[in-house]
Amino acid sequence: MSQKPAVPNGSIPNSTRYGFPKEGRYSLSYWLQGVQGDPLLNHRTTAELPSSADIVIIGSGLSGTLIANHCLKAFPGKSIIILEAREFCSGATGRNAGHCKPDQWRGFSAYEAAFGTEQALKILENEQATWTALVEYIRQNNVDCDLWVGDTLDVPVTPEVAAAAKTNFERFKAAGGEVGHIKVTHDPVEARKISHIKSAQACYAWSASTLYPWKLTAHIMRENLSKGANLQTRTKAIKIIETPDSNPESWRWIVQTPRGPIKTNQVIHATNAYSSALEPSLRGLIYPSPHMCNRIKPPVEFEDPNPAGLTNSYGVLLPEGGLFSINPRSTREGSVLFGGSNPGQAAFERWVNEPGYPERGVDDGIEVFGAVTGAVKDFAEGAIEGWKAEFAVDGWSGIIGRSVDNVPWIGELPDLPGQWVCAGHNGHGMARIFTAAPGLVKLMAGRPWAETQLPDVYQITPSRVNNLKRARDSGDTSRL
């Protein structure tokens, strides 16, 4: 999935759009197709579900898996269970477009308007730190996940979009943002030469990565299992209740599942889009938002590691805040993955939000949606130099965890001691989780927020929760 970098427009989803992961058939992403048969998909460390554990982590995507990894280091000897409602890493991490692209400037103006200059700069600095941490982990641990490191290009395709991008970039620079590593051209001729996008009006380039996110997460989970973690797939957490025992030395929470209850003192919500289905206090604050990804398989004459005209990863900036996120696979297989909020996304969102169909908000069984897939095909046929209109397009859906203030929620839930959240990544989890997960574990260990080095606006506080709920209930969308 890929972030549309804008402050929410105030449209709050219907309160019924809070569901659990879809059961039964769901679409197979490009990443999940490539690992069918891997025993980790349906792994259960123990045949029986343990009746208790020191820490229960709900969700086995990158957040839950990396949190478990840091918990094993921070709390040696503690028992840790990771619950997954379906197959291992079958949610957003296993369904995104395979990009770890740190936002270096593009979201600055929106973040500044919402949170002020200092926090806007910190948000973008954190994305750079996250990318650095992710790449270092992969390289130091020799993770087999098709890591590619190179220039990612942001390419505005109309004069108006280019002008807005330039204004935003200059504002970021004037505010003290680091731009020395960003290569910029505002010459359309030069931009087209660099990007191979026929309508390019400018080009911004900086370092980013593409990778196989499921394989990265699987590597970390296998490390967790070797150190004693217990993974239980196809075990849905359906409710969390407080234990009736008032003894302060007894277990604090009971996580209810169809396979039986688990008593614990620490619960970590790492389900992102589904957080509000399990924890009512998050409703209206974090909500699911379906999204589409598409894969193009170019014809035989373009089957190089990087197909003709695409030697970088891309963010193609479109009118009205639209975006194509493009990931040419760095393997001989030759696929090109498209994510982002393309011109067909508005029609998709209207369909999702049609009254009477709340289940669409958590439906990741959609393989093709005409408007979205058509926009990808039209762009590939007409906008990329060196491509012909002779290729197949397939797709899959995934569920983004949106937050009403467009930034993650990290920390302990107010009035629920021992319940922790790492969610609301707004489609940009790959550029946030590798710092958010260890940051959360530091908080669990009693360390102050400052030691997480995360932006202050990511922290869960009673005032943040109450202010947003008041804004929601009053209809004051200017504060969302």
> Residue 171 domain-assigned?
yes
CA dihedral 266, 270, 272, 275 (to 10 degrees): -30
- Residue ending a domain, choose from 384, 402, 420: 402
Q: Which residues pair with 317 in a beta bridge?
A: 156, 323
Token reading at 145:
């996940």
Three-class DSSP category at 255: strand
Number of structural domains, the chain? Answer: 2
Residues 316 and 424 in one domain: no
Burial of 393 (0-12, 13-18, 19+ CB in 10 A): middle
CA distances (Å), origin 113, targets 108, 122, 179, 207, 369: 9, 14, 20, 26, 34
Question: Quick one: CA dihedral 362, 367, 369, 372, positive or negative?
Answer: positive
Dihedral (Cα; 75, 77, 78, 84), 10-degree rounding: 100
Dihedral sign of CA atoms 162, 116, 409, 477 in order: negative
Residues 368, 433: one domain? no
Residue 114 lies in a domain: no
380 and 307 within one domain: yes
Chosen domain end from 381, 402, 423: 402
Q: 158: left (phi > 0), else alpha (psi -120 to 50), else beta?
A: beta
Domain that holds residue 342: 147-209+288-402
The residues, any chain, with a CB within 8 Å of residue 17's CB and separated by 6 or more, are 287, 288, 358, 361, 362
Pairing of strands 260-264, 239-242: unpaired
What is the pLDDT tens value at each position of the chain, 480 positions in all?
443 333 333 344 444 456 777 676 678 999 999 999 999 999 999 999 999 999 999 999 999 999 999 999 999 999 999 999 999 999 999 999 999 999 999 999 999 999 999 999 999 999 999 999 999 999 999 999 999 999 999 999 999 999 999 999 999 999 999 999 999 999 999 999 999 999 999 999 999 999 999 999 999 999 999 999 999 999 999 999 999 876 656 899 999 999 999 999 999 999 999 999 999 999 989 999 999 999 987 654 554 555 555 789 999 999 999 999 999 987 777 789 999 999 998 999 999 989 988 889 899 999 999 999 999 989 988 898 877 656 678 899 999 999 999 999 999 999 999 999 999 999 999 999 999 999 999 999 999 999 999 999 999 999 999 988 887 777 654 444
Sign of CA dihedral 90, 92, 93, 94: positive
Least Cα distance to 7 among 115, 104, 154, 128 occurs for 115
* Residues 302, 193 share a domain: yes
pTM over 0.85: yes
